[in-house]
Amino acid sequence: MKTSIVLSTHQARFSAVAFKGDFEANVLKIAELGYDGVELAIRDPNLVDADALLAVTEAHGLSVPAIGTGQAWGEEGLSFTDPEESVRKAAIGRVCDHVPFAARTGAVIIIGLLRGIVKPGVEHEQAYGWMVDALQRCSAAAAPDGVRLVLEPINRYETSLVNSVPECLELIDAVGADNFGVLADTFHMNIEDASMADSLRQAGSRLFHVHFADSNRWYPGAGHIDFADLVRTLREIGYGGYISIEAMPMPDADTCAVESIRTLRQFLC
Ligand code: LER
Ligand code: MN
């Protein structure tokens, strides 16, 4: 297992991104702390100079294991389940736009809030159907380039569409694409999943990516989640991907990054 931490390429409103702002300075700090990679939050890949970005990550020896897409929801309101067809199409198009960059870096494309919420006037079943259809289209568009997609179960206070890992496994069956799997985020699982370890075991080889934050969404070690048990379980299921830190920059971004890698090292050595 390898380590990474979430970094935004632009200033973002989402509060659990530890590092925002000056990209190169942040990449340097992350590399010096000993992380293996940076997970990039990218609103629109068409507005990002991929060559320049990768020149920086590669110069510091960091991989890019995942791309977060949630800013397209947060800043532009794009989603797979909007009542407006044009908005749903734009959301699918945006995910497809991430494919070339993801193919270059081997990153998984994360579908978090880009799936949307169930908007007023829309039935849950209708929204679910739109989501399945969008995920089938995006998975099919990504497959020829060997790119994988993950859906992240997100807690009930943010969306009513897929809150737990077992619910996501049902969705994966409905979508039926080999390159579509689950991202397990410990912050959300602590709220929604009956047993985090059991959920990870159930996910097995369908677990493509992991976010670590503690129960209070501070760095691992600042709350009451048993990370030793989770890392043991990840090993047990043969998970060979990244553990990516997605925690609030509390008490500040640097402390969050330092403490997170310190906690992870205790279990990963
Ligand atoms: C994104 O990875 C996440 O965990 C969500 O809380 C975003 O709203
Ligand atoms: Mn997350």
Tell me the pLDDT tens digit for each residue of 213-231: 999 999 999 999 999 999 9
Out of 39, 192, 246, 259, the active site residue is: 246
Q: Is pLDDT of 14 > 70?
A: no
Is residue 246 among the annotated active site residues? yes
Q: Is pLDDT of 16 > 70?
A: no
Q: Is pLDDT of 93 > 90?
A: yes
Q: Which residues' Cβ are closer than 6 Å to ligand 1?
A: 14, 68, 70, 112-113, 152, 154, 158, 185, 211, 246
Q: What is the mean pLDDT of the chain?
A: 95
Round to whole Å and give the CA distance between 26 and 21. 8
Out of 152, 167, 192, 236, the active site residue is: 152
Is residue 152 among the annotated active site residues? yes
Structure tokens at 134: 């969008």
Q: Is pLDDT of 32 > 70?
A: yes
SS (H, E, C) 109-169: EEECHHHCCCCCCCCHHHHHHHHHHHHHHHHHHHHHHCCCEEECCCCCCCCCCCCCHHHHH
Residue pair 168/199 in contact (Cβ under 8 Å)? The answer is: no
Structure tokens at 248: 């609030």
Tell me the residue type at 212.
Answer: F
| Confidence band of 8 (pLDDT split at 50, 70, 90) | confident
